[in-house]
Amino acid sequence: MYENFEKISEEKKNRIIKAALKEFAVKGYEEASTNNIVKEAGISKGMIFHYFENKKNLYLYILDYCAELYFQKTKEICEKYHNSAFEKFNQLLEERTEWLKGEMYLGIIISNALLCNLPNELQPIAAEKTQSLIQRMKKVMLNNIDTSDFNENVDLNKVFDMFSFIFQALTMRYLKKYSFIQSELKEEEVIKELEMMNKELVCFMEIIKYGVCKRE
């Protein structure tokens, strides 16, 4: 589908990707303008349609691009650690949060796809792509984990699912509360909220790890 785009130089390709990332993150899919993208990328409007045919295909390409980068970063971090599940997840949260500070647009596009904050026609496609991403991340996150400190009846897959549900819920809350999709993205505010969300995730992980009620 994207053969024409893949044939162009890396420099030109990166300009288009960078411009599209910014436009879709700042404006959201419906308000995003291909006019702004081609202007930012320094190409003619005809070329963007030659490469992608329409805005929908361009967005889906960008979503795939973001998902792959997000997965590769998760994989890179996870492969460095072979300790307990909670230590590994803590390291992942810390390092991925630091990485996302420099990849704000990517993080916003992934978050909006994860929460299906998209037009109806794109929601099932985005849901399929994000679920595929989650399953790929689950595989690398659960690989080489020391579970010796877990209760013997604990299902590690359920623990991962619990983390995933909490992460999605917090992401939704922060996106709604602080409206990251706006005409101007304030980098300092986004970084601050990323750090706050990360701290909350760590707190929830501590609750999961140590429990709530005293054992009789």
Domain residue spans of the chain: 63-210
Cα(162)–Cα(144) distance, rounded to whole angstroms? 19
Quick one: CA torsion of 138, 168, 68, 95, rounded to 10 degrees? -80
The alpha helices in the chain, defined as continuous H runs, are 3-6, 10-31, 34-41, 45-52, 55-78, 85-101, 104-114, 123-141, 156-178, 187-210
**What are the φ/ψ torsions at residue 144 (nearest 5 degrees)?**
55, 45
- β partners of residue 7: none
Two tokens, residue 53 = 């045919």
pLDDT at 183: 44
Cα 93 from Cα 199, distance rounded (Å): 9
Phi, psi of 73 (to 5 degrees): -70, -45
Contact partners, residue 149, CB within 8 Å, separation at least 6: 84
Say which residues have a Cβ less than 8 Å from residue 34's Cβ, sequence separation at least 6: 45, 48, 49, 55, 58
Q: Which pLDDT does position 11 carry in this prediction?
A: 96
- Report the amino acid identity of residue 132: S
- pLDDT per residue as tens, the chain (216 positions): 788 899 999 999 999 999 999 999 988 899 999 999 999 999 998 999 999 999 999 999 999 999 999 999 999 988 887 777 788 888 888 888 888 888 888 988 998 888 777 899 999 999 999 999 989 988 888 887 777 778 888 888 888 888 878 877 777 776 665 544 444 556 677 777 778 888 888 888 888 888 776 655
pLDDT of residue 216: 55
Tokens for 162?
């619990």
The answer to whether the Cα torsion of 175, 181, 182, 185 is positive or negative is positive
Distance, in Å, from the CA atom of 119 to the CA atom of 25, rounded to the nearest integer, reads: 15
- Rounded distance, CA 62 to CA 110, Å? 10
